[in-house]
Amino acid sequence: MTLPSKTLVEWRDCLRRGEVSSVELVNMVLESIAQGDKRIHAYLSYDKEAAIQLAHQTSPNLPLAGIPIAIKDNISVLGQPTRCASRLLAPYIAPYDATAISLMKAAGGIPLGRLNMDEFAMGSTGENSAFGPTLNPHALGHVPGGSSSGSAASVAAGTAIAALGSDTGGSIRQPASHCGVVGLKPTYGRVSRYGLVAFASSLDQIGTITRDVRDAAVLLETICGYDSKDSTSQNQPVEHFEAYVGRDIKGKKIGVPKEYMTSGNHPGVTQAVQSALKRLESLGAELVEISLPHAEAVVSVYYIVACAEASSNLSRFDGVRYGQRSPQARDLNEVFELSREEGFGPEVKRRIILGTYVLSSGYYDAYYSRAQRVRSLVAQDFTEAFTKVDLIAGPTAPTPAPLLGASEIDHLQTYLEDIYTVPANLAGLPGISVPCGVAEIAGACLPVGLQLLAPHFKEGELITAGYALEKS
């Protein structure tokens, strides 16, 4: 039996009514992977026995009621490979659970499957995986977006009920947009980063990819909370996010940055976003044109800060402490050099080189310090904007999912397409991408996402507005 198309909340209710058991549900998901994943390659691996064992121990009365949740390959799950889709970490097995995973397990969630991604979360297409790309389930010639490529594609294809991903510059929201599912990146500090393999520590955040907004609310609630093991974790009360579903958006002021509605967007994206904004307006929201004056600088700032932090974070992968060691190495220096040379893919190397460059003496002030100063200005733009509006809306990405192979032709163009997602990470804000229409690209009709941003810790507002849009 394959997996009927149901949301996480629908499965939760089925489990509570005793119509299905957690073990049966795990088996259904496994079968749907066996049948459906060959087409899209969203999964790197899965551990049937571990999932079944947890399913036997769970209770339908818990918030997640024994539902299997698929996990991006950079989030540690005890006893499971955590490879970050890199050759370098191919032999690595996580010796502990990430805090988000232990919280999710305690809430009755069952981690099932390791999801494909861009290597070390660097990329926006899913093509940078050392284990081969994931394909977009809506059109196999197109990318699913990235770096949480497997998370978005599996939920869209129905081979996962819901998934966890990570977002450093858009890696949850952008693939969700390209695959027609809901991606929520929480406020920086809302979900512990303990056990998430670091890419850029001041930007990384774990979040959810789900079939709809209510599912996002339910899953988010289970992974949030203060954690002393993450020094940037914030001590904020965990809210009952599901209660924000179905609230009125009448009178809410939604800011539309003029810098986000430009002729640089694909015309089909502009059309879908404009019609979504009109629907929000017809539900009583007030649209306000706003300006984010430093919008032009965000991609440069992001790639300097993210690469700088990555070059430092990834120095721990030296062939000694984690993962693969080159069998060719004859001395210690060769262990470092050859293990890294053989283990990292080209995009990861490009970023380490770029990051080392901007941090090197003589260039530090010109690039890194300057980027940090502009980062504060970007954050100030949002503080200013949120004195006038409750939420900010615009496209999640300037185009629908590109063709496979396109990013190899022009890396810079691919970086530039992160323009609408990186600001939330630079400013630490929560953001959600909700499907809002479709657009034609290279002969295929593909989903378009509307991005909503809110002030720090106002995920509830994103859920209210996102749900209103989804319903409309």
User: Catalytic positions, please?
Assistant: 72, 147, 171
Comparing CB distances to ligand GLN, the nearer of 418 and 461 is: 418
* Helix or strand holding residue 209 (H, E): strand 206-210
CB of 274 to ligand GLN, least distance (A): 25
Question: Is residue 127 at the binding interface for ligand GLN, with CB under 6 A as the rule?
Answer: no
Cα(166)–Cα(146) distance, rounded to whole angstroms? 10
Comparing CB distances to ligand GLN, the nearer of 22 and 425 is: 425
354 contacts: CB under 8 Å, gap ≥ 6: 303, 307, 311
Cα(310)–Cα(304) distance, rounded to whole angstroms? 10
Question: Is residue 121 at the binding interface for ligand GLN, with CB under 6 A as the rule?
Answer: yes
DSSP secondary structure letter of residue 193 = -
CB of 232 to ligand GLN, least distance (A): 17
Question: Is residue 169 at the binding interface for ligand GLN, with CB under 6 A as the rule?
Answer: yes
Closest CA to 238 of 459, 72, 438, 409: 459
β-pair partners for 432: 184, 452
Angstrom CA distances, 360 to 337, 353, 355, stand at 19, 10, 9
Alpha helices for 298-387 (secondary structure H): 298-313, 332-343, 346-359, 370-385
Question: Is residue 167 at the binding interface for ligand GLN, with CB under 6 A as the rule?
Answer: yes
Of the candidate spans 7-15, 119-127, 312-320, 337-345, the one that interacts with ligand GLN by CB under 6 A turns out to be 119-127
From 113, 123, 355, 449, residue interacting with ligand GLN (rule: CB under 6 A): 123
Closest CA to 114 of 165, 58, 64: 165
Residues written for the chain: 472
- Alpha-carbon radius of gyration of the chain: 21
From 122, 160, 220, 314, residue interacting with ligand GLN (rule: CB under 6 A): 122
- Number of residues located near ligand GLN, criterion CB under 6 A: 13
From 171, 210, 222, 233, residue interacting with ligand GLN (rule: CB under 6 A): 171
CB 109 within 8 A of CB 89: no
Mask of contacts with ligand GLN, 252-291, x by CB under 6 A?
----------------------------------------
Question: Is residue 205 at the binding interface for ligand GLN, with CB under 6 A as the rule?
Answer: no
Cα(133)–Cα(129) distance, rounded to whole angstroms? 6
CB 297 within 8 A of CB 332: no
From 28, 306, 429, 454, residue interacting with ligand GLN (rule: CB under 6 A): 306
* Helix or strand holding residue 437 (H, E): strand 431-441
The neighbour count for residue 181, using CB atoms within 10 Å, is 29
The separation between the first and the last C-alpha atoms of the chain, rounded to the nearest angstrom, is 33
Question: Is residue 151 at the binding interface for ligand GLN, with CB under 6 A as the rule?
Answer: no
Mask of contacts with ligand GLN, 393-432, x by CB under 6 A?
-------------------------x--------------
From 136, 147, 265, 270, residue interacting with ligand GLN (rule: CB under 6 A): 147
Mask of contacts with ligand GLN, 74-113, x by CB under 6 A?
----------------------------------------
Of the candidate spans 6-14, 54-62, 168-176, 383-391, the one that interacts with ligand GLN by CB under 6 A turns out to be 168-176
The neighbour count for residue 144, using CB atoms within 10 Å, is 35
CB of 113 to ligand GLN, least distance (A): 19
Question: Is residue 311 at the binding interface for ligand GLN, with CB under 6 A as the rule?
Answer: no
CB of 170 to ligand GLN, least distance (A): 5
Q: Catalog residues that contact ligand GLN under the rule CB under 6 A.
A: 121-124, 147, 167-171, 199, 306, 418
